[in-house]
């Protein structure tokens, strides 16, 4: 069951589109910093999707409600790294994760956009949803204040491992912020599963982009 009445927002066009055949460099501005993102057309994970724009914009605008300063933040399915870079600029200890084939571009974007800033140095790590979580991120060592996920739900076969990954990292006290463009019935089925497991609130909706932004926390027994 969902709680809360979401605000209705629009994704602001705060980037300058560039046109090229292979690599696109997109220029964004968040929290007073220009961010340059290199995209690759080879991988789903190497393009900036609307959910990342929506959540970046929301975190920038709602820093009192979600204060990331000195918080431990894990992004799953970080893609190009835009959201992780924004979280870093907002003062978080960020760990950006994705599949091995995406990590090179992800690392490039994150290091390039954070290297000269006085902030916690972000970490980039491999995370395959549902695999080796106990080995790579043992519960005794890793506890995150925020889990960020954007446009991780679309037509793919890894929805169950994704849900298992969200459950694994969401401990008492952890806030999961998930923004997604809702396109398919499977997206809504996944949302229903999230609502069955977590306390879930819709924070914002971006109707023009079909993006919903949700906050989920562990149910107290």
Higher pLDDT, 174 or 155: 174
Does residue 119 form part of some domain?
yes
- Dihedral over alpha carbons 41, 206, 153, 35 (to 10 degrees): 40
- Percentage above 70 pLDDT, the chain: 90
Does residue 169 form part of some domain?
yes
> How many domains is the chain built from?
1
* Residue 173, CB-side half-sphere exposure with 13 Å CA sphere: 6
Q: What are phi and psi of 102, to 5 degrees?
A: -100, -15
* Residue 199, CB-side half-sphere exposure with 13 Å CA sphere: 11
Does residue 2 form part of some domain?
no
Give the whole-angstrom CA distance, residue 196 versus residue 55: 23
Handedness of CA 99, 155, 38, 163 (dihedral sign): negative
For residue 189, the tally of other CB atoms under 10 A from its CB is 11
Cβ 89 vs Cβ 117: under 8 Å:
yes
- Given a cut of 70, whether residue 112 has pLDDT beyond it is yes
For 84, the domain range is 7-218
- Given a cut of 50, whether residue 125 has pLDDT beyond it is yes
Burial of 64 (0-12, 13-18, 19+ CB in 10 A): exposed
Does residue 116 form part of some domain?
yes
Give the pTM: 0.91
Does residue 142 form part of some domain?
yes
- Given a cut of 70, whether residue 71 has pLDDT beyond it is yes
Q: What is the DSSP letter of 210?
A: T
Determine the Cα angle at 95 with ends 33 and 91, to 5°. Answer: 40
CATH of the domain at 181: 3.40.50.150
**Banded pLDDT at 17 (limits 50, 70, 90):** very low
pLDDT at residue 44, rounded to an integer: 61
Does residue 55 form part of some domain?
yes
Rounded to an integer, the average pLDDT of 179-194 is 94
Cβ 110 vs Cβ 98: under 8 Å:
no
SS3 state at 101: helix
**Banded pLDDT at 11 (limits 50, 70, 90):** confident
- Given a cut of 80, whether residue 191 has pLDDT beyond it is yes
Does residue 1 form part of some domain?
no
**Banded pLDDT at 42 (limits 50, 70, 90):** low
pLDDT at residue 190, rounded to an integer: 96
């Amino acid at each position: 069951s969902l709680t809360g009445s979401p605000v209705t927002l629009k994704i602001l066009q705060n980037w300058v589109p560039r046109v090229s055949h292979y690599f696109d460099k997109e220029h964004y501005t968040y929290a007073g910093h220009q961010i340059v993102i290199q995209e690759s057309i080879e991988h789903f994970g190497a393009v900036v999707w609307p959910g990342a724009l929506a959540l970046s914009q929301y975190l920038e605008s709602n820093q009192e409600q979600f204060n990331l300063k000195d918080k431990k933040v894990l992004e799953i399915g970080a893609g190009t790294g835009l959201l992780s870079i924004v979280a870093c600029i907002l003062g978080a200890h960020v760990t950006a994760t994705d599949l091995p084939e995406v990590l090179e571009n992800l690392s490039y974007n994150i290091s390039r956009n954070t290297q000269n800033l006085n902030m916690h140095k972000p970490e980039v790590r491999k995370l395959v949803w549902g695999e080796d979580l106990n080995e790579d991120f043992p519960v005794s060592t890793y506890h995150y204040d925020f889990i960020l996920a954007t446009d991780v739900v679309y037509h793919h076969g890894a929805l169950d491992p994704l849900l298992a990954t969200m459950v694994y990292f969401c401990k008492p006290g952890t806030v999961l912020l998930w923004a997604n463009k809702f396109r398919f019935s499977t997206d809504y089925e996944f949302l229903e599963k999230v609502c069955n497991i977590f306390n879930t609130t819709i924070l914002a909706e971006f109707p023009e982009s079909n993006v919903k932004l949700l906050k989920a926390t562990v149910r107290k027994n």
